[in-house]
Amino acid sequence: MKCLSCSSLLLLLFVPAFSQEFTIHSNGLIYDEATIKHLHHIVDSLHLTQKSCGLVREYHALAQGKAHFIEIQGEQAEAAYEAIKAGISYENFRTRFEADVLKENLTVLRTYYEERNVKLVEVMALPEKHRVVTEAELAPPEDAFAGKWVAWYDVQKRYADSDLATLSAYWFTESMQRARMDDKYAVLLQYADCMIDTNTQIFLETASQKWARYFDNKADSAKRTGNKIDQAMSFADSYPGKPYQEDFKDYDSYLEAGEKWNKKRLAWLKDTVAKSDTLRMLFNEAYSQALKSGTYERAFEMAVGAALSKRHELQLLRSRIVYGQCSADASPRRHVQNIAAAAAESHSWDVFLRAHLDIMNDNVDRASDGSWAWGERDTYIREMEELGINVTDLLIGVCLRVDDAPENHYFASVSRTGRALAETRTPGEVEQKLLAMIGDEKLDDYNRLLLVYLFKHYNHHLKNQVRQKKNTAALTEAMKKMPANLSADLKPDFEGR
């Protein structure tokens, strides 16, 4: 059977049977009671509920400072750009050129990144406007922005015989500063780094990226026929009573029957292989072959988990990256949830936590992703709260942005985290902490701005309208403590950001 097309997935998305992306078990969670029991054992054995993670290093905010912004369009743009490259001062520039847009004394954020092996510098006025991106080699040295320009010049076609030239530039009135994070906020970052191991990723370096397949879960038969994987799967599928879709009137009944059959089959497989050296050898050989070839899918992973161990299954899961075909394709999220469950059952806390956070943040790969599908993907904060760890500090910590975080530090999505926190059991604690941080001048401007967005997403997704109204008023008061040039452009109400 071929993979389902995106159009088929779109139809399935709106069928009631597909309204829940993961199975919700009798405990109300996406992990069954046995998996949660494994997780509680891990948390207890590692003393994670009491883990405080004392501060052992400094963290510094992203570089911020003050600058004037100008924009010129049309015939003057090229001459203005050449003057900037020649080192014209801001005062002489203002005398010589008339700007279409002029904004002075803005708080700006500077970041560096690479794109297509080219190092770029981006300057952006807060709150998030007037972006200017240029090659880093054309910008001032990192520690010498005061009294210098960062400019971008572009010419775009408007009509067949008409071009539009645009110059966007910043003149820096002071050096950019990477402020040291106050200890009470640095400890939140430290807590995130000590809870979410920076040496661990959910996928192995050798993992291969694959498009998802549906219903049949068969890899390319030309590659599998006669090999050890095929032999192992032939035995695993020999358990009697396998349901087939054509024998059922509706798909829900087929899925339910298939789930029951598979549960019995895996229990039989575990018991049968344990009694046979020959079968154990077959599945070990198939497992080794799968790691080398990559020609396996979910059905084989489950069989290996039953025949050998959950640790073997986890290794296979981490060696395969499922790539979603479109917005309606839930396979990447299901694959990460399978990783989280297998990690829990094989006592791999670091892999579990990263995997569950990836589900919460929808951190998976897709060919495309329309915003219309975002609302269907839940965040599942309750699964973390069930374990007794400090979820509030952890989730706020991964939303802060710093310049010198360790490699593989987990940075969360502000919008998804806000939605997750709206389902917390401790809303008062969340609100008190966020509002205090927004109003604290010891925290840098950019992180205060991010926390405003986090709070607005949190408040938007609350179901209690009375609480929402009180929170809007409290956020208004907290924002009054922010610098005037930031708060003037902010509204306490949710605007979809």
| Sequential pLDDT tens for the chain (497 residues) | 344 455 444 434 333 333 457 788 888 888 889 899 989 988 888 777 767 777 889 999 999 999 999 999 999 999 999 999 999 999 999 999 999 999 999 999 999 989 989 999 999 999 878 999 999 888 888 788 999 999 999 988 655 555 789 999 999 999 999 999 999 999 999 999 989 999 999 999 988 876 544 334 334 443 445 689 999 999 999 999 988 888 888 988 998 899 899 999 999 999 999 999 999 999 999 999 999 887 788 899 999 999 999 999 999 999 999 887 777 778 889 999 999 999 999 999 999 999 999 999 988 876 544 544 455 567 789 999 999 889 999 999 999 999 999 999 999 999 999 999 999 999 999 999 999 999 999 999 999 999 999 999 999 999 999 999 999 999 999 999 999 988 888 888 876 65
Determine phi and psi for 297, rounding to 5 degrees: -140, -165
Residue 110 inside a domain? The answer is: yes
Of 315, 348, 376, the residue that ends a domain is: 376
Q: How far apart are CA 339 and CA 240, in angstroms?
A: 28
- Per the structure block, which two tokens stand in for 364? 């998976």
| Residue 68, domain member (yes or no) | yes
Q: What are phi and psi of 134, to 5 degrees?
A: -150, 165
Same domain, 88 and 159: yes
Same domain membership, residue 209 and residue 164: no
354 and 227 inside one domain? yes
493: its two tokens: 């109400």
Helical axes 310-318 vs 277-293, angle rounded to 10°: 20
Q: What angle do CA 189, 195, 201 make, to 5 degrees?
A: 100
Beta strand ranges found along 292-362 (DSSP E): 320-323
Last residue of a domain, one of 350, 376, 402: 376
- Structural domain containing residue 92: 63-172
Same domain, 318 and 245: yes
Q: Quick one: 160 and 293 in the same domain?
A: no
Count of the separate structural domains present in the chain? 2
The answer on 234 and 343 residing in a single domain is: yes
Burial of 22 (0-12, 13-18, 19+ CB in 10 A): middle
Considering the domain architecture, whether residues 133 and 231 belong to the same structural domain is answered as no
Burial label, 317 (beta-carbon count in 10 A; 0-12, 13-18, 19+) = buried
Beta bridge partners of 163: 157
